[in-house]
Every structure is written in C-alpha cells, then in structure tokens.
Amino acid sequence: MRIYSLSLVLVSNGLVPSDSEAVDFRKDILPVFEAKCIECHRAPYEEGGRNRKPKAGLRMDAAWAINMGSDNGSVLTAGNPEDSELHYRVTLPKDDDEFMPPAGKADPLTAGELTLFKKWIEEGADFGGWVGNLEGQPAQASFAASKPAVSEIQEIYKRLAEGVEAYEKESWESVTEAGGRVTPLSKTSPLLSVDFRLITENASDKAIASIGAVASNVVHLDLSKTSVSDSALSMLDELPKLVRLNLSQTGITDAGLKHLAGLVELRYLNLYGSEVSDAGLKNLEGISSLETIYLWQSKATESGVAKLRSSLPHAKINFK
C-alpha cells in the first residue's frame, strides 16, 4: 500500500507519467543518465595525462553504445526490466558492492526516477530518436536503430511463459512474509523474479524455502548476501524455469553446486565472493545453457576457470 500511495503522489505531481502516458526518453530518462551515469560511462578521454576508459566497458553517452552493452554483455532488454542489468544495478541495496551509482560518485536514483526508468524499459526502451555521441561507433552499429531489437532472452521468456498460469499476489504472501520480494517479470507475464536482498543475512534456509509456493513460475532468484546453506539449494529442483541465479557473497561451497545440475534454462550464475573452488566448477561443465558466470573473489583458480571455459566455450566467465 505504501508503494502504491507513493506512486499516486508522484503521478499527481507530474513527476511520473500516468499509465496511459508514454515515458519520453529525452525528457524523463536522459537527464538522469547525464546526472548520475555518463560521467563514469562515456567515451574514452584524457585527464591529467592519463587515459580514462568507461567503467566495465559500458558507455551510456549514445544509444548505439547502450545497446551494445558492457564487457560483460547486454545491459538492456527492451520490455523486460528484470532482465536488464542497468535496472538491476540501480535497484540493489545501497550497501551492495554492485549498486550503481557507487557511493561518492552520484546520488542514487530517487523513487520517481526508478519508476520512470522501469516504465521506460517496459514500454520498449525507445530512445525517441536520440543518438548521442558517435565517437568510436563500430561500423556495424547503426545509430538509426534507436531501440534494442527483440533479444534471444526475450524469446526464451516467451517460450517459458507459454501455457503458464499466472499466480495471484495472495499466492506469494508466504514469501513476502519471510522477507522476500516477488515481482512479475512484466505486467503481462506469469513469470516471477524473487529476491531476498532486502533482508540479506537474515534470510535463513527456512525463509528461502518459502519460494516453494510459486516455484513453478520463478525465472530469477537472488540470494546474494543471504545465509543460505548448501543443503538449502536442493529446492532448486523445484525451479525448472530458472534463468538467473545470484549466490554472490554467500557461504555456498562446492557441495551446493551439485544442486544446479538440473537447471537446463540457467543462463546467468553469480558466484562472486563465494566459497566455490575448482572442484565445484566441475558441476557446471554440463550446464550448456550458461552464458554468464561471475567467479571473482571466489576460491576458484585460473587453471580451474580455464577448464570450465573449455567445457563452456560460449559462456562469458568473469574471473578477474
């Protein structure tokens, strides 16, 4: 109710477009990018005799650059905020190491700005003719295309949603009561995103087990910084549609990864700061669907990661 009331206030004050009014990129989104993002994510430049490059290889000073993404892949999925890295980073808890913008660089996005940003992505992430800086644009990147094309991941979600019945909000009350946050992938999708980032280390195995109430529809699960145990991951058997799994900064070890074997739809796996070693990586070798794996600050070694890369040649493995 509190979130709903806040939205009403923002709309009535003209800070957020009504449901019938489309978000205008130039008016509503670009000023936010310019104030809070572009300083660290712009074309390379020289300062004080040093060459400065955009953080993570991501430029946000041009439509073509945003569509190309970062060193780690796509950051924007038109129509799907939950699968857009840009939206994910700005909605993390402020003390999370991955939260954007970083402390001291710019102020976090306000509630109104977050609402606009999510709505803009849901509406198709249309740049409205904005081109931006053409410096460094590859020949194959057409600046005429001002919005992302329908991505492969969108087709995956479309397939996973076929014939699936949507849950009513009452169905996931047990999850929210346990401290989890449940969000539909979009207004029309029956697929769900579940995360326990709001209570992090207070999220016990018992609390996390509440996911069982909506397990069949869950495609995103974020357990980062929680106290989830290896044995608790046995509940992953109930999540056949899981596409993204975040276990970063948890105590998960090699034993926990044994429970991932049946996740045939898994594309994204974050094990940053976990206790996973080379022995555990062997459990990932058969998950051919994996596209992105984060292993930095884990117990894995260069040789172990090299073996994993040979088994999953199409996956982007972020190790250092």
Q: Could you tell me the CATH number of the domain that includes residue 249?
A: 3.80.10.10
Q: Within this chain, do residues 142 and 162 fall inside the same structural domain, yes or no?
A: no
Decide which of 128, 149, 170 is a domain's last residue: 149
For the record, the structure tokens of 316 come out as 């982007």
Could you read off the pLDDT of 116-139 as tens digits, one per residue?
999 998 888 899 889 999 888 876
Q: Within this chain, do residues 73 and 174 fall inside the same structural domain, yes or no?
A: no
User: What total number of domains does the chain contain?
Assistant: 2
Mean pLDDT, the chain, rounded, equals 85
Q: Within this chain, do residues 179 and 298 fall inside the same structural domain, yes or no?
A: yes
For range 14-38, the mean pLDDT: 82
- What is the pTM for the complete model shown? 0.66
Decide which of 132, 149, 166 is a domain's last residue: 149
For the record, the structure tokens of 254 come out as 């090699």
- pLDDT of 122 reads 85
- pLDDT band of residue 221 (cuts 50, 70, 90) is very high
Q: Within this chain, do residues 109 and 229 fall inside the same structural domain, yes or no?
A: no
- pLDDT of 149 reads 47
Domain span at 248: 158-318
Would you say residue 261 has pLDDT above 50?
A: yes
More confident residue, 92 or 153: 92
- pLDDT of 320 reads 67
Q: Within this chain, do residues 144 and 165 fall inside the same structural domain, yes or no?
A: no
- pLDDT band of residue 46 (cuts 50, 70, 90) is confident
Could you read off the pLDDT of 161-218 as tens digits, one per residue?
999 999 998 999 999 999 888 988 877 889 999 988 777 667 788 989 999 999 999 9
- pLDDT band of residue 2 (cuts 50, 70, 90) is very low
Q: Which amino acid is at 34?
A: E
Would you say residue 281 has pLDDT above 90?
A: yes
- pLDDT band of residue 19 (cuts 50, 70, 90) is low
Compute the distance between CA of residue 286 and CA of residue 304 in angstroms, rounded to an integer.
15
- pLDDT of 48 reads 82
Would you say residue 85 has pLDDT above 60?
A: yes
Gyration radius (Cα) of the chain, Å: 20
Q: Within this chain, do residues 102 and 188 fall inside the same structural domain, yes or no?
A: no
Contacts of 9 (CB under 8 A, 6+ apart): none
Compute the distance between CA of residue 50 and CA of residue 291 in angstroms, rounded to an integer.
34
For the record, the structure tokens of 39 come out as 């300083």
Q: Within this chain, do residues 235 and 134 fall inside the same structural domain, yes or no?
A: no
Q: Within this chain, do residues 265 and 168 fall inside the same structural domain, yes or no?
A: yes
- pLDDT band of residue 4 (cuts 50, 70, 90) is very low
For the record, the structure tokens of 155 come out as 């087709």
Q: Within this chain, do residues 143 and 125 fall inside the same structural domain, yes or no?
A: yes
- pLDDT band of residue 77 (cuts 50, 70, 90) is confident
Decide if 266 contacts 153 (C-beta within 8 A).
no
Establish how many alpha carbons lie within 13 A of residue 305's alpha carbon, considering only the half-sphere containing its beta carbon.
19
Compute the distance between CA of residue 104 and CA of residue 82 in angstroms, rounded to an integer.
26
- pLDDT of 86 reads 92
Decide which of 129, 149, 169 is a domain's last residue: 149
For the record, the structure tokens of 265 come out as 């739809």
Question: Residues 104-108: contacts with CB within 8 Å, 24+ apart?
Answer: 105/39, 105/40, 106/35, 106/36, 106/37, 106/39, 107/36
Q: Which of 26-40, 173-187, 218-232 has the lowest mean pLDDT?
A: 173-187
SS3 per-residue string spanning the chain: CHHHHHHHHHHHCCCCCCCCCCCCHHHHHHHHHHHHCCCCCCCCEEECCEEECCHHHCCCCEHHHHHHCECCECCCCCCCHHHCHHHHHHCCCCCCCCCCCCCCCCCCCCHHHHHHHHHHHHCCCCCCCCCECCCCCCCCCCCCCCCCCCCHHHHHHHHHHCCCCCCCHHHHHHHHHCCCEEEECCCCCCCEEEECCCCHHHCCHHHHHHHHHHHHHEEEEECCCCCCCCHHHHHHHHCCCCCEEECCCCCCCHHHHHHHCCCCCCCEEECCCCCCCHHHHCCCCCCCCCCEEECCCCCCCHHHHHHHHHHCCCCEEECC
Q: Within this chain, do residues 55 and 87 fall inside the same structural domain, yes or no?
A: yes
- pLDDT of 141 reads 54
Contacts of 128 (CB under 8 A, 6+ apart): 24, 25, 26, 146
For range 155-159, the mean pLDDT: 88
- pLDDT of 17 reads 54
- pLDDT of 8 reads 35
Q: Within this chain, do residues 81 and 169 fall inside the same structural domain, yes or no?
A: no
- pLDDT of 159 reads 93
- pLDDT band of residue 147 (cuts 50, 70, 90) is very low
- pLDDT of 9 reads 38
Compute the distance between CA of residue 153 and CA of residue 136 in angstroms, rounded to an integer.
27
Pairing state of beta strands 218-222 and 192-195? parallel
Q: Within this chain, do residues 88 and 10 fall inside the same structural domain, yes or no?
A: yes
- pLDDT of 173 reads 94
Decide if 234 contacts 211 (C-beta within 8 A).
no
